[in-house]
Amino acid sequence: MTKNYHNQSGWYHVNRFSFLLVSIVLFLILRPFMEDYVRLSFLIEIFISAILLSGIYAVSEDRVSLFFALVTGVPALFINWSFQIFKIPSLLLIHHICAALFFATATVIIVRHLINQKVVTVDLIWGAVCGYFFIGFMWSAIFSLLETFHPGSFKLGSQVVPNIDSFIYFSFVTLATLGYGDIVPLTEKAQSLAIIETVMGQMYLAVNIAALVAIRISQSRNKDP
């Protein structure tokens, strides 16, 4: 049996998902404003690093989880900073691949952790929220890769050169089934991937809500005399 690095009480009370959630929210809120200031643009990379590092820590419940988190998260972190220094386009592509793999791995670990718990805590709920954000980030990297290898897969409005910000926006709009229509998948590949993300987002919410409700009911019954 795999040895846990953290016992159950430690997993609940360290609040490992809190810092991860704060990093994600700050990244999404502040990134558009910091890009206008060259001196502050480096903070974007710091937030990305904080998300990756806190994500690795948050999902490292056992040896197997830690191994997969390190194998996918550390290369994404290292390659992202390498791209910022050397500005080699291929490094950005590799970063998107590693980031997509890390977010996918972390989401699976979070769902598995949530299903296996017997007590609902605030940090457990934060973990479920982080998993939802990770799905959005994963698909933004996938969409960016698709547009890179198959230019014209998306209609990006007046934007001439696609960037990751546009795909982060499109990913979360698709994940939440808002469908604003300002960015549109044009090819069959892009449309199929958008459908998969939409279904995945709805299934993630359904599974997590059901799991949290079931855990809460079981927790209440155990407290009854």
DSSP 86: H
Give CA–CA dist 42/113, Å, rounded. 34
pLDDT digits (tens, 9 = 90+) for 11-22: 444 578 999 999
Report yes or no on 189 lying in a domain: yes
Give CA–CA dist 180/158, Å, rounded. 15
Give CA–CA dist 208/213, Å, rounded. 8
Task: Tally the domains of the chain.
Answer: 1
Has residue 67 got a pLDDT over 80? yes
Report yes or no on 3 lying in a domain: no
DSSP 184: E
* Separation of CA 67 from chain center: 18
The half-sphere exposure of 161 on its side-chain side, counting CA atoms within 13 A, is 1
Q: Residue 77 is part of a domain; what is its CATH number?
A: 1.10.287.70
Residue type, 180: Y
Residue scoring higher pLDDT (10 or 205): 205
The half-sphere exposure of 97 on its side-chain side, counting CA atoms within 13 A, is 10
pLDDT digits (tens, 9 = 90+) for 134-186: 999 999 999 999 999 999 999 987 766 678 889 999 999 999 999 888 899 99
**What confidence tier does 10 reach under pLDDT thresholds 50, 70, 90?**
very low
Report yes or no on 176 lying in a domain: yes
pLDDT at 214: 85
pLDDT at 15: 75
Give CA–CA dist 99/77, Å, rounded. 8
Q: What is the pairing mode between strands 154-155 and 184-185?
A: antiparallel
Give CA–CA dist 57/18, Å, rounded. 11
Report yes or no on 148 lying in a domain: yes
Give CA–CA dist 35/40, Å, rounded. 7
Report yes or no on 1 lying in a domain: no
Has residue 128 got a pLDDT over 80? yes
The total number of residues shown for the chain amounts to 225
Report yes or no on 2 lying in a domain: no
- Structural domain of 69: 8-223
pLDDT at 223: 65
Give CA–CA dist 119/220, Å, rounded. 9
Has residue 111 got a pLDDT over 70? yes
Phi and psi at residue 119, to the nearest 5°:
-135, 130
